[in-house]
C-alpha cells in the first residue's frame, strides 16, 4: 500500500503542474459566475439557473479533465522513459495502475472541491447569505465525483494498451453513450425482435450508465435526492471500478514494454 500511495502522490504532483487544469478550473468558475448574469435575466429563478449552470459546468469540465489527463497516465511514463526505472524497482504493475488511478482521483477531487466552493459562494451572493444551499447540492457534487472516477477508470483501461488519440476517442464515445444508456434499453423494449432486445439489454448492463448520476435537474428544482439512488450509485461505482481497474491491471501486466 505504501508503494501505491507513493505513486499516487507523485501522480498528483505531476497533475497539478499541468497548466491545462488551471485553465479548465478558471473556465468552470467563470461559467459558474456567469450564472449570476443569467439569473438576473431570468426573473425569480436566479438560484435554479445558478445551480443548473454550476453543476453542469462542474460535470462537463470534470469529464474533460478525467479524459485528457487519464489517457496520458501510462503513455506519458512510457514516452519519458520513466516507467522503466519505476518498474525496475520492486513495484508490481498492478500497484502502478492503482497508484496512477488514486493520484488522478485525488486530483479530480481537489478540483471539484474548488469548483463547488465557487458555486456555493455564488449561491450565497445571490441569496445574500440567507439560504438557497441544500444538502442535495453536495450529494449532486458527490455523484459527479463518482462519475468522474468511472470516466478515469475507462480512460485508464484504454491508455493501458492504446495511443492517447485512440484512448480519448474511445473514452469520449463511451461517455456520450453512457449518458443515454437507458434509451438503448427502451429502444430494445419497443422492438418486436427478441434478438434486438437481447442485444440492447446486454449493452445496457455492459456499458456504463452515467444517466443515473445526473440529478442536476432535480436539484435545481429543489427536489431531494433519494438515499436509495445514492446507495445504488455508490455500489454501482465500486463494482464497475473494480472491473475497470482489474481489466487495466491485466492488460497492462501483459503488455510488452520493450
Decide: 4 and 98 in contact? Cβ < 8 Å: yes
Q: How far is CA 86 from CA 3, 28, 101, 237, 250, in A?
A: 11, 35, 16, 29, 18
Domain boundaries, the chain: 2-253
> Per-residue pLDDT for 180 more than 60?
yes
pLDDT confidence tier of residue 202, bands split at 50, 70 and 90: confident
Task: Choose between 131 and 138: higher pLDDT.
Answer: 138
Mean pLDDT computed over 161-181 = 84
pLDDT confidence tier of residue 239, bands split at 50, 70 and 90: very high
Other beta carbons less than 10 A from residue 112's beta carbon: 22
Question: In angstroms, what is the C-alpha Rg of the chain?
Answer: 20
pTM of this prediction?
A: 0.84
Q: Which residue has the cell 485553465?
A: 23
Pairwise CA distance, residues 57 & 28, whole Å: 6
Mean pLDDT computed over 194-222 = 80
Amino acid at each position: 500500500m505504501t508503494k501505491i500511495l507513493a505513486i499516487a502522490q507523485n501522480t498528483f504532483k505531476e497533475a497539478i503542474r499541468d497548466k491545462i487544469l488551471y485553465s479548465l478550473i478558471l473556465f468552470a468558475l467563470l461559467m459558474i459566475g456567469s450564472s449570476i448574469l443569467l439569473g438576473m435575466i431570468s426573473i425569480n429563478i436566479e438560484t435554479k439557473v445558478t445551480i443548473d449552470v454550476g453543476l453542469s459546468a462542474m460535470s462537463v469540465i470534470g469529464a474533460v479533465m478525467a479524459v485528457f489527463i487519464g489517457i496520458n497516465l501510462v503513455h506519458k511514463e512510457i514516452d519519458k522513459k520513466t516507467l522503466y526505472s519505476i518498474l525496475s524497482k520492486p513495484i508490481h504493475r498492478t500497484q502502478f495502475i492503482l497508484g496512477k488511478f488514486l493520484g488522478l482521483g485525488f486530483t479530480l477531487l481537489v478540483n471539484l472541491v474548488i469548483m463547488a466552493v465557487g458555486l456555493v459562494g455564488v449561491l450565497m451572493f445571490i441569496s445574500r447569505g440567507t439560504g438557497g444551499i441544500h444538502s442535495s447540492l453536495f450529494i449532486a457534487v458527490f455523484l459527479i465525483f463518482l462519475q468522474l472516477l468511472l470516466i478515469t477508470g475507462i480512460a485508464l483501461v484504454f491508455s493501458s494498451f492504446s495511443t492517447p488519440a485512440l484512448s480519448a476517442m474511445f473514452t469520449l464515445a463511451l461517455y456520450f453513450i453512457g449518458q443515454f444508456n437507458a434509451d438503448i434499453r427502451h429502444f430494445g423494449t419497443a422492438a418486436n425482435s427478441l434478438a434486438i432486445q437481447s442485444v440492447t439489454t446486454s449493452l445496457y448492463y455492459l456499458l456504463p450508465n452515467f444517466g443515473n448520476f445526473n440529478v442536476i435537474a432535480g436539484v435545481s428544482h429543489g427536489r431531494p435526492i433519494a438515499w436509495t439512488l445514492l446507495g445504488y450509485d455508490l455500489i454501482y461505482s465500486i463494482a464497475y471500478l473494480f472491473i475497470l481497474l482489474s481489466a487495466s491491471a491485466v492488460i497492462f501486466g501483459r503488455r510488452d514494454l520493450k
